[in-house]
Amino acid sequence: MAISPEEHPQKAFGWAARDSSGILSPFRFSRRENADDDVTIKVLYCGVCHSDLHFAKNDWGFTNYPVVPGHEIVGVVTKTGNNVDKFKVGDRVGVGVIVGSCMKCETCQQDLENYCPRTIFTYNSHYHDQTKTYGGYSDIIVVHHRYVLRFPDNLAPDAGAPLLCAGITVYSPMKYYGMTEPGKHLGVAGLGGLGHIAVKIGKAFGLKVTVISSSPAKEDEATRRLGADSFLLLSDPAKLKGAMGTMDYIIDTVSAVHALAPLIGLLKLNGKLVTVGLPNKPLELPIFPLVLGRKLVGGSDIGGVKETQEMLDFCAKHNITSDIELIHMDYINTAMERLAKSDVRYRFVIDVASSLTQ
């Protein structure tokens, strides 16, 4: 028997996509009772991540409709379970991409819940009780306290919301792959939701940052507004040649299918190219340049909860938030169309509390 979205005791309301057209519309559903380990959160803001668009349209082939997207959630605690002492009612908190994991495996023990084989995602997953998870394009969410983040007071809750996915997605590989040595040279490929935060975090680490892009129009943005040290236009062969072998690392945020060869060429000896975008087809990897320059291509996928908290605190210390366009809930379908054309600087954030009305 299929479990209806109204299987839980707490009523909830949000916007969901019901089929691969990806069109979202109002959706009544429910949240579980707040158990001893849980925190109930009234959602204030939710960022619109590109993954939300992919899931809404079933681009990756495993969307389980209806899907309520949203995993860049900032809100206020309204209820805490008996075992919860980290949070109290009224606290400002965040929820990112994960709401559960097995908690027992070596990966979970190492605070790497994002690599647990049984990670439970904020939406489009199944929780321990087999019911579906629904994301932050909704009025409330109930989350196990282990996966709730303390949201720093001095970070704007709307502009800070995208840090919960975009922020940790670029911060984690920068730490893991050692991209934090002041003075080293970081390339950021792609200037969108992920890329613009990578520039800000890179500068905060004391790195020299070059934005690598195929859009000449982004140069001014990159250098004047975001503070990147330089801009490299991929389609300019002379500039590209001049920049070969100059970068210690590159964060590749591009999720369209794209050529890796020029990016690998930009790396110095022992350079590292880390891909955080998710193209839906394999990319071509030239092997010779990897071998001749002892270079590597790695991947990274969000981060664990502990590291996400570390990232939020780092951003609070350095006053880093996302550049956002605040929208109302009923603008979401237009926002998704614009997102498909990368027409946003650089993240839409839904003002859920003010605009989500039944």
Partner 1 sequence: MVLTPEQEHPNKAFGWAARDSSGVLSPLKFSRRKTGEKDVRFKVLYCGICHSDLHMVKNEWGSSVYPLIPGHEIVGVVTEVGSKVQKFKVGDKVGVGCMVGSCHSCDSCNNHLENYCPKMILTYGTRNLDGTITYGGYSDIMVADEHFIVRIPDNLPLDGAAPLLCAGITTYSPLRYFGLDKPGMHVGVVGLGGLGHLAVKFAKAMGVKVTVISTSPNKKEEAIEHLHADSFLVSRDQDQMQAAMGTLDGIIDTVSALHPLLPLIGLLKSHGKLVMVGAPEKPLELPVFPLLMGRKIVGGSCIGGMKETQEMIDFSAKHKITADIEVIPIDYLNTAMERLVKADVRYRFVIDIGNTLISSS
| Of positions 16, 77, 226, 260, contacts partner 1 by CB under 8 A | 260
> What is the rounded distance in angstroms from the CA atom of residue 111 to the CA atom of residue 120?
15
Cα–Cα distance list, 284 to 21, 212, 328 (Å): 30, 19, 40
Find where tokens 């039944």 sit. 358
Closest approach of Cβ 286 to partner 1, in Å? 4
| Of positions 250, 276, 327, 335, contacts partner 1 by CB under 8 A | 276
CB burial of residue 312 (10 Å; 0-12, 13-18, 19+): buried
Closest approach of Cβ 244 to partner 1, in Å? 11
For residue 327, count other CB atoms closer than 10 A to its CB: 18
Closest approach of Cβ 196 to partner 1, in Å? 20
Interface with partner 1, residue 296, by CB under 8 A? yes
Interface with partner 1, residue 283, by CB under 8 A? yes
Interface with partner 1, residue 278, by CB under 8 A? yes
Cα–Cα distance list, 232 to 16, 170, 244, 338 (Å): 39, 20, 11, 25
> What is the rounded distance in angstroms from the CA atom of residue 327 to the CA atom of residue 180?
34
CB-nearer residue toward partner 1: 49 or 349: 49
Interface with partner 1, residue 292, by CB under 8 A? yes
Strand 208-213 relative to strand 10-17, pairing? unpaired
Considering CB under 8 A, how many residues would be counted as binding partner 1? 33
> What is the rounded distance in angstroms from the CA atom of residue 294 to the CA atom of residue 311?
30
Interface with partner 1, residue 295, by CB under 8 A? yes
> What is the rounded distance in angstroms from the CA atom of residue 350 to the CA atom of residue 358?
15
Q: By rule CB under 8 A, what string of x and - marks binding of each residue 147-186 to partner 1?
A: --------------------------x--x----------
| Of positions 298, 317, 318, 319, contacts partner 1 by CB under 8 A | 298
Q: By rule CB under 8 A, what string of x and - marks binding of each residue 94-133 to partner 1?
A: -------------x----x--x------------------
Q: What is the DSSP letter of 112?
A: -
Closest approach of Cβ 108 to partner 1, in Å? 12
User: Binding residues for partner 1, per CB under 8 A?
Assistant: 107, 112, 115, 173, 176, 260-261, 269, 275-279, 282-301
